[in-house]
Amino acid sequence: MTGNKKPVRAGLPCFSRLLVCCILGAFGASPAFAAQNIELSVRFFDRRVYYLTEAPILVQVTVANNGPESYSFRLAEDRAFSVDFDVRTVSNRPLEAAPPLVRKRSSYRQVFFREVAVESGESFSFVEDVRDYVDFRNSGAYVLRARLFPGLYRGPLAAQEAADSGGALESNRLSLSLRPPSVPGPDGIPLEMDVETNAVLVREKLSPDEVVDYTLKARQKSQWEKFFLYLDLESLLSRDSVRSRQWRAESEEGRRRMVARYRDELRNAVTDGDISTIPTEYTIERTSYDAEESAVIVLEKFKVPSGDYTERKRYTYTLRRRDNIWIITDYVVLNLGTE
């Protein structure tokens, strides 16, 4: 993933193998760099309400070159040997590293890496799950920051020496609040919280076009908890014949796992991209409905990142009324070309 500045120009992959033993300490020296011109920053990739035992805590790590010269560093394929996260309580007590991370860094292994060159005025970004690095055992308020080791992570003693001597980049601090495990809703899926108000989201008696408008606005703002509120995920995942057969064969618990997995796939754009892609603008053209079913036709436009043009698509959303609440159960897409 690249940052939101100029495209990154990375060096050719380096297929040299670096044998790392985190117990024995450092091998070699880290590449020099002008720390005052290089900025390491972190932000939440998908800002939401975080719970103690649920969902990844995705953080986007960005290396920005504000100096006049090119800056190079080694980026391991396994990012645990390039980056680390320091998470502390409000009383400044550090949290322990996640056990899988400790085992990984304490074993002999071949670490593959590549040299990344970030030119002047450019940036390079990647996303990591903080849960892969930190052992969260209690809910509460925390402060986190990242460290990047330009010459790779070479053991705890070397890492601390690098941090003390300025041989590692340190990021800004982020405030993280972890809530206790959420209460499951009637369908077994945890109730979602509104990030802005910290209140439990509740479906309201909106008209079909208002439901579609609410859903599309939530997607434009990357408010996933609101985006999922009026989606019938069971009906949507059953649009695929393979998943539909699997759904019918699953137990009740298996179906809950399928719904949870489908939510994650939509969030990560792994499946059904037509409904999870962000429209730059949209117009509700027509709404028709009877007592139980409705169809909302929407013209949506999508900016193509790799080209200077916009795709136009016409969506027909099908909604059904359940307990006086309109829910999106299906959709059809018609491609209208570009402009």
* Rounded mean pLDDT for each run of 10 residues along the chain, 339 residues in total: 36 35 33 65 84 82 91 90 93 92 84 90 91 90 92 73 69 88 51 55 87 92 85 86 83 81 80 82 92 92 81 93 89 89
Helices (H) and strands (E) in the chain, counts: 8, 15
**Structure-token pair, residue 181:** 């495990």
Q: What angle do CA 246, 248, 254 make, to 5 degrees?
A: 65
Q: What is the CA radius of gyration of the chain?
A: 23
Return the pLDDT at 158. Answer: 61
Structural domains in the chain, sorted by start: 17-179 (2.60.40.2360), 208-338 (3.10.450.50)
- Per-residue pLDDT of 30-70, as tens digits, reads 334 445 688 999 999 877 778 787 678 899 999 999 989 89
Q: Are strands 71-76 and 123-129 parallel, antiparallel or unpaired?
A: unpaired
**Structure-token pair, residue 143:** 């402060």
Return the pLDDT at 195. Answer: 54
Return the closest-CA partner of residue 2 out of 165, 105, 126: 126
pTM over 0.85: no
Give the span between the Cα atoms of 211 and 331, in whole angstroms.
14
Is the CB of residue 168 less than 8 Å from the CB of residue 31? no
Fill in the DSSP letter of residue 132: G
Give the span between the Cα atoms of 209 and 215, in whole angstroms.
10
N-term to C-term CA, the chain: 27
